[in-house]
Structure formats: C-alpha cells, structure tokens
Amino acid sequence: MKVTYVTTYDAKDVRQWSGLGFYIAKALVDAGLELQYCGPLKIRNRVYLKNKDRIIRKILKKNFDVIREPRVVKHLADQISAFLEKNPSDIVFCPSSIPIALLKTKLPIVFYTDANFAGVVDFYPEYSNYLKRTFNNAHKMEDAAIKNADTIIYSSSWAAETAVKFYNAQMTKIRIIPFGANLSYSYSKDEVDAFIRRRLEEPLHILFLGLSWERKGGDTAFQIVKHLNAKGIKAKLSVVGCSTEIYEPVPDWLDEYGFVNKATERGRIILDNLMKRSHLLLLPSRADCTPVVFSEASSYGIPSISTKVGGIPLIIKDGVNGMLFDQNDGDEKYVEYIESLVNDKGKYRDLALSAYDEYRQKLNWESIGQKIRDILEETINKHKQ
C-alpha cells in the first residue's frame, strides 16, 4: 500500500507539532506501509498574510488565522493535486484536517488529529477573539474537511463528539485512536519496575511537563506541592517546557528546566533522567486535547494526575494509569490523593506498573500503527465499492 503523507511542515523534523508528525509517519512505516512525503506544503503570499495578521491584531485587536483562509487552503490542495499527478498513490493521509479540506481527488482521504475548530475555539486562549470573517472561514474549512474525508481518525471521543455535534459528522466514518509516546527510549517492564523500585526509596518527585504554565494549570500544581511540603511530605516539583509564573520567593523544592529540546541528544538525556526518577506527572490542565506526555509518562510507569477536560479522559483512567479530578476540585483533593500514594508504597507500585501495562497495550506507536494500517486498508476497500 502506497500512502501519500501530507503535511504543511517537514514531517521528518521531530521538533514539529510535539513530534507527532514524525512519530505517526514512523508508525506507518513500521507497520509495513510505503510512505511518500507530500510536504512541507507552501503558503503563497506568506509575507503579505503575516503582515495582514499583524495589522489586524494591532489595530482591530482581533485574531486572524492564516492557515484557515479559503484561498490558502485551496493552494494547499492544489499542491497536493500536483504531487499526486506525478506520484501514483493508493490513499491520501494527513495528520491534520485543513490541508485536505478542499482537495479534489479520486483517491480515498483520511485525516488523523486531536481536535477540530469547534472544539478548540474559546477553549484554548489562542483560539479566541477572532475576526468574524476568520471565525466563519475556519468553521467552513473544518466542515469541508470532515465532508471530504472518507475516514476521520480522532485521538479522543471528545473530538469525535464535537465533530458530530457541530459539523454533523457521520459517526460511521469516525475512528478513535489515542496518540502514542513520542520518545526515543523504550524500556521493558523489568527495567521500568527497577525505576519504580528506586523511586520508592526516594523523596517524592513530581513532574510538570508542558509548554503553557497557565493553560496546563501550573499555578495549581505549585500550590499542591506547596501544601504537600507544609504537611511534612518532602516533595520536589520539576517544571519542564515553560517558565513558571509565581509571585513569591522561589522555594528550594522547585526546579526549573525551561524548554528542553528532545530533538537533541542532551535534551533526550535530560528528559529520560527526569522520567526515570519522577513519581508522578501532575498537569491540572484547564484546556487540553490529548497531550502525548501522558502516554510518555505511562511508558516509564509514571501515574498521571490531571483534570476531566477535553480529550484527557481517553488517555488517563482512574486507578489504571493515574487519576482525574474535576476542574472545580480544590487543592486539598489532589493533596489527599497524592498523600495516599506516598503512605502506601504497594498501592503506588501497583498503579505505576498498571500505567506501564496501559502503555504497552494501547499507548504505543507500534500497536497504533497497526490499527491505522487496518483502517487505511478498510478505507481503500470501501472506496472501491
């Protein structure tokens, strides 16, 4: 099976889109599919559009989304069509809905993503306060993509339900597959068990890993660890990926790493060492789709603690690979739960091993690649009928 893999960026660059474009492609190749890369696609008049964006933001105080402009989407589709004319293929696959929204082809089309516009607008801070025209165009392009695709793969039931509710998407052509762990290192269960046993002999080490302090609930995570230390539970908080925003003296239990580039060997080593020794991943998110960091944490036998928002409930299951809280739950509920794990090492070890099992069964790219392959084959067969 020859698959045309469409991206607006260089899918061979692990730094793009948290590495998802890279790891999805690798999963498909490892599943035995032949990939031909169509991308990075170009945006015509990029300088003009960027200047227009800047002016709209400065003067009108509104957001303008270049990639969802119909003429931009049409140009993306034209580039794909030109590529397909010279490169025969069996199916078009895109880890995004937008590039294929206006694509006209006799080939079946599949896209795989974590959200649609209706799901993120006014949910993520950056997807708000749109120019009315941009808002309308974004919905039109999302609707066109959903109608144009033969099969849609979402990484959560939340995204699927949003597509059905706002765009009348047909559930019969939607599949739900979570994202895997975007990590270079892979460990056996015995190795992970050794990490867990070492953690049991160390003070509590909590990891906050995300690019947005506010959206990922960094202030809540800080207060939770502060309360733990106040109760006599020696706990350290490592913040990776963003800068902290705290308005008090920096405590000695807080370590700030800033952005760590996993595309470099140094970055991979730093993250690997942090994961090995971290007892818990704490992300009390206010808005999220399906963060790959939860799959990555499970691969190290790290239980995740987060909130019941967006697509997170598909990844984290209470008592299996972590615990979810309601957004209006106070810090004391988190503290009480974490304290129960600290006081019962057997309970913690069982949960940590269960998290690894969840990774091996559902949250790894090897098994996900095989599932996507099956879906692509099914889509091609249906398209021929």
CA proximity to 20, closest of 379, 367, 365: 365
| CATH class of residue range 189-361 | alpha beta
**Taking residues 184-188, what's their average pLDDT?**
88
Q: State how far the Cα of 63 lies from the Cα of 126, in Å rounded to an integer.
A: 8
CA dihedral over 160, 163, 165, 169, signed as positive or negative: negative
Backbone angles phi, psi at 108, to 5 degrees: -70, 150
Helices (H), the chain: 20-30, 46-55, 70-86, 117-120, 132-148, 157-167, 189-200, 218-230, 265-277, 292-299, 312-315, 331-343, 345-361, 365-384
User: Which pLDDT value is given to residue 44?
Assistant: 80
Percent of the chain at pLDDT > 70 equals 100
Does CATH number 3.40.50.2000 belong to domain 2-180+365-384?
yes
User: Which pLDDT value is given to residue 50?
Assistant: 78
Residue type at 330? G
Q: State how far the Cα of 294 lies from the Cα of 155, in Å rounded to an integer.
A: 13
At residue 155, does pLDDT exceed 80? yes
Task: Domain ranges for the chain, please list them.
Answer: 2-180+365-384, 189-361
Helices (H), 204-344: 218-230, 265-277, 292-299, 312-315, 331-343
At residue 218, does pLDDT exceed 80? yes
Residue 54 token pair: 């800047």
At residue 43, does pLDDT exceed 90? no
At residue 247, does pLDDT exceed 90? no
CA dihedral over 209, 362, 178, 268, signed as positive or negative: positive
**Taking residues 98-105, what's their average pLDDT?**
97
**Taking residues 79-89, what's their average pLDDT?**
97
CA dihedral over 330, 332, 338, 341, signed as positive or negative: negative
Average pLDDT, the chain: 95
Residue type at 151? T
At residue 255, does pLDDT exceed 80? yes
Q: Do domains 2-180+365-384 and 189-361 have the same CATH topology?
A: yes
**Taking residues 228-241, what's their average pLDDT?**
97
**282 or 185: which carries more pLDDT confidence?**
282
**Taking residues 121-135, what's their average pLDDT?**
89
**Taking residues 74-93, what's their average pLDDT?**
97
